[in-house]
């Protein structure tokens, strides 16, 4: 006679309780409005995710506080249109570098997805990381899955109200810290923290902090898996990058089926059963509420929680682990996973080329910009000596982070009178606008429009030089 499973878990909700909604084959297990009570799980995957999560979180929180050469090391100043990343300052004119960065990031994501599936979603995506942080607070304050279910079912009382208030306050504090840090990447973080708590921050900073606090609180506290399963576009197009050799979280159906309860000492083969004891723990720990035994589903974020849950069950039953594991479809079919295949090699090659272009663009970037704008009010005028004069505005940007002295020269015709500064001291990151006048004896003008060139060069570094062409107009 078959017996119920004997998997014993110390947690009070450990008896193989069915989840709220049982999975329908091939479909999601929850309507978007259903609350998922995620069960806590321990194991090697969870440990790896926590360690990575701590490292990434520490990086996120600390990076904007770093200083480099006396200034905030990372400052993406949108209002002043300059992105400072340690020794590199990017301006709107450096659009190609930003484009390379986006392309490199995109192809890195494609390559990683082709090789390791949605490992980004499960281990590094902010939505997952913050959701797991929020779930940790929920567990600490409201208890285990079973206790949370009971708490939500019972009418409001002082204890329930206290726990709910405490949980939401904790969530809001985490969300506020997240928002302040995030906005601190776009403005002076020391000033922001000081001013925000003294209620002296400006409208833009205050509005941004409030917006991102609510966004974090809403996403990680309330939206959770809805963001992954219904809003994030990445979940939809990732399948285009998958093939039989992509690592995914998968259930070994051949080994697990037919599933069913049994005693620990009973031989499953004698009972005509596979290794799955149908305890549903893999479903209970799933943050998106799906049953991995139904096969690959776009809701699966590859977090691996079900691997830990099932490994723990297998260990207690005395069966080999990895009934659910990170594996490939080819391996499940008995083949050998191929790392080098058309897709992975293609994405890898594109990534290498784009990274090389990005590095070259940064290495050969001239940290100087020169714009020449002709005076729009007067096309030309004649001065007291009878020379024709044109007026220009030179806009010089010192894109480096150090002050430098720059020389200004005009060329294009032998007989040119230049009236303006020949040397300028410009601070690092400064935009300097200077009006200059060019005068030419009409005797040397053989056309009504001739081309002239303005050159600005660094006195200290001959390689830092910019030349911009403009027109000289006259009556000829
Ligand atoms: S099925 Fe497993 S890996 Fe996929 S989201 Fe659920 S727990 Fe994570
Ligand atoms: S796959 Fe593993 S965790 Fe899931 S029901 Fe079967 S035995 Fe339990």
426 lines ligand 1 (CB under 6 A): no
pLDDT of residue 24: 37
pLDDT at 11: 35
Query: Token pair of 267, please?
Result: 């031989």
Is 281 close to ligand 1, i.e. is its CB under 6 Å away? no
The closest residue, in CA terms, to atom 8 on ligand 1 is: 303
Q: Is the Cβ atom of 310 under 6 angstroms away from ligand 2?
A: yes
Encode pLDDT of 172-198 as tens digits. 999 999 999 999 999 999 999 999 999
Dihedral-angle region of residue 454 (phi above 0 means left; psi in -120 to 50 means alpha; beta otherwise): beta
Q: Judge whether residue 117 has pLDDT over 60.
A: yes
Cα separation of 298 and 290, whole Å?
10
pLDDT tens, position by position, 17-52 = 332 333 334 344 555 556 889 999 999 999 999 999
For residue 356, pLDDT beyond 90? yes
Q: What is the pLDDT of residues 413-443, one digit of tens each?
A: 878 899 999 999 999 888 999 999 999 988 8
CA 436 to chain centre: 45
| In the predicted structure, residue 408 carries a pLDDT above the cut 90 | yes
State the ligand closest to the CA atom of 49: 1
Mean pLDDT of the chain: 88
Q: Which has more pLDDT, 162 or 36?
A: 162
Mean pLDDT over 444-457 rounds to: 90
* Ligand 1 mean position, distance from CA 302 (Å): 5
* Residues 444, 414 contacting (CB under 8 angstroms): yes
Q: pLDDT digit string (tens) for 222-244? A: 988 888 888 888 877 777 888 89
The helix or strand, by DSSP H or E, that contains position 7, with its residue range, turns out to be none
Of residues 130 and 31, more confidence is placed in 130
14 has pLDDT over 80: no
- Extents of the domains making up the chain: 44-90+125-223, 368-473
What is the distance between the alpha carbons of residues 77 and 404, in angstroms, rounded to a whole number? 22
Atom of ligand 1 nearest to the CA of 291: 1
pLDDT score at 31 = 54
In the predicted structure, residue 209 carries a pLDDT above the cut 80 = yes
Mean pLDDT of 90-115: 91
Q: Ligand 2, residues 282, 295, 309: which to mutate, most atoms within 8 A of Cβ? A: 282
- Looking at residue 168, the DSSP 8-state letter turns out to be H
Q: 327-351, pLDDT tens digit by residue?
A: 999 999 999 999 999 999 999 999 9
Query: For 273-296, how does the pLDDT look when each residue is reduced to its tens digit (9 = 90+)?
Result: 999 999 999 999 999 999 999 998
Q: Is the CB of 324 under 6 A from ligand 1?
A: no
Q: What residues are paired with 179 via a beta bridge?
A: none
Give the ligand 1 atom nearest the CA of 285.
7
How many angstroms does the Cα of residue 129 sit away from the middle of ligand 1? 14
Q: Are 86 and 74 in contact (CB under 8 A)?
A: yes
Supply the CATH classification number for the domain 368-473. 2.60.40.10
């Amino acid at each position: 006679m078959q017996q119920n499973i004997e998997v014993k878990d110390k947690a009070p909700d450990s008896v193989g309780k069915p989840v709220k909604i049982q999975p329908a084959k091939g479909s999601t297990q929850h309507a978007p409005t259903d609350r998922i009570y995620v069960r806590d799980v321990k194991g090697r995957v969870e440990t790896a995710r926590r360690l990575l999560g701590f490292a990434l979180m520490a990086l996120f929180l600390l990076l904007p506080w770093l200083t480099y050469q006396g200034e905030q090391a990372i400052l993406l100043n949108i209002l002043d249109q300059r992105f400072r990343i340690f020794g590199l300052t990017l301006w709107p004119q450096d659009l190609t570098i930003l484009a390379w960065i986006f392309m490199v990031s995109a192809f890195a994501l494609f390559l990683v997805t082709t090789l390791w599936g949605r490992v980004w979603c499960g281990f590094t995506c902010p939505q997952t990381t913050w959701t797991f942080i929020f779930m940790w607070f929920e567990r600490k304050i409201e208890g285990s899955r079973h206790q949370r279910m009971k708490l939500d079912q019972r009418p409001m009382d002082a204890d329930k109200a206290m726990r709910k208030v405490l949980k939401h306050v904790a969530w809001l504090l985490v969300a506020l810290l997240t928002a302040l840090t995030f906005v601190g990447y776009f403005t002076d973080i020391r000033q922001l923290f000081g001013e925000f708590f003294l209620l002296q921050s400006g409208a833009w900073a205050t509005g941004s902090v409030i917006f991102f606090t609510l966004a974090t609180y809403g996403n990680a506290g309330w939206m959770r898996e809805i963001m992954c399963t219904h809003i994030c576009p990445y979940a939809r197009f990732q399948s285009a990058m998958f093939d039989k050799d992509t690592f995914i979280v998968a259930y070994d159906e051949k080994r697990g089926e037919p599933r069913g309860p049994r005693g620990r000492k009973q031989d499953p083969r004698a009972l005509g059963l596979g290794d799955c004891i149908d305890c549903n723990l893999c479903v209970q720990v799933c943050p998106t509420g799906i049953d991995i035994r139904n096969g690959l589903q776009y809701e699966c974020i590859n977090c691996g929680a079900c691997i830990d849950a099932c490994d723990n069950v297998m260990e207690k039953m005395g069966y080999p682990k990895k009934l659910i594991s990170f594996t490939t479809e080819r391996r499940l079919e008995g083949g050998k996973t191929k790392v080098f295949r058309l897709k992975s090699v293609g994405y890898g090659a594109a990534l290498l080329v784009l990274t090389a272009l990005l590095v070259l663009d940064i290495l050969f970037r001239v940290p100087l910009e020169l714009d020449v704008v002709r005076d729009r009010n007067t096309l030309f005028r004649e001065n007291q000596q009878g020379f024709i004069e044109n007026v220009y505005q030179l806009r010089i940007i010192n894109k480096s982070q150090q002050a430098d002295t720059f020389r200004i020269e005009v060329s294009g015709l032998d007989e040119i009178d230049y009236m303006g500064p020949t040397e300028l001291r410009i601070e690092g990151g400064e935009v300097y606008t200077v009006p200059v006048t060019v005068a030419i004896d009409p005797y040397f003008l053989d056309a009504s429009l001739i081309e002239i060139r303005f050159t600005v060069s660094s006195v200290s570094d001959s390689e830092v030089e910019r030349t911009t062409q403009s027109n000289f107009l006259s009556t000829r």
